[in-house]
Amino acid sequence: MTITMRAGSGPDELLHKVEVLSEQHLANCYQCGTCAATCPLAAQMDLLPDMLIRHLLFGLPGVLERRTLWVCVGCESCTDRCPRGIDVARIIEALRQIRLQDRGDELAVAQLPDAARELPPIALVASLRRHTG
C-alpha cells in the first residue's frame, strides 16, 4: 500500500471542508491525546479522535469510512477538556455531515426493530439527526 503524505503541501479538500464546517483549525492540535483519554466510548472507536485529526491533516485515506464517526455521540467531554481549545465534537459532526451528504443515511429508519420503535422520542430524534441527512 502506498500512502501519500501531503502535510503542508497544498490544501486537502476534505481537510478544508472539515475546517469550514467545524470552524476549527486542526493544526492547533498538539496530539496530547486528552480527547481520546476522556472519551467514554473510545474503546469502541477504530480511530481515536486525536489520530483522526492527524489523519485529516496528513490527508490519509479512509477517514470517512471509520466507525468513529458513528460511535461519537457528541457528549463533548473532549471539547470541554481540550487544552488547545479545539472543539473535537464539531470536527466529528462535520465528518458525519460530509459522509451523510455523500452516501446517504447511516440508519435505515424503516427497518428499525420493534424494540427501537418503542423508545423515548428524544432517542429517535437524536439518532435521526446524527444518522440521516
Phi and psi torsions of 71, nearest 5°: -75, -40
For residue 60, what is its C-alpha cell? 490519509
User: Using the rule CB under 8 A, which residue among 16, 25, 103, 129 binds other proteins?
Assistant: 129
Nearest distance in Å: CB 89, other proteins = 6
Residue 119 interacting with other proteins (CB under 8 A): yes
Which ranges constitute the DSSP H helices of 1-133? 13-22, 34-38, 49-58, 68-71, 77-81, 88-103, 114-117, 121-131
Nearest distance in Å: CB 45, other proteins = 11
Residue 64 interacting with other proteins (CB under 8 A): no
Tell me, rounded to whole angstroms, the distance of Cα 81 from its chain centroid: 17
Q: Which residues bind other proteins (CB under 8 A)?
A: 20-23, 40-41, 43-44, 70-71, 73-77, 79-80, 87, 89-90, 93-94, 97, 107, 109-110, 112, 114, 116-132
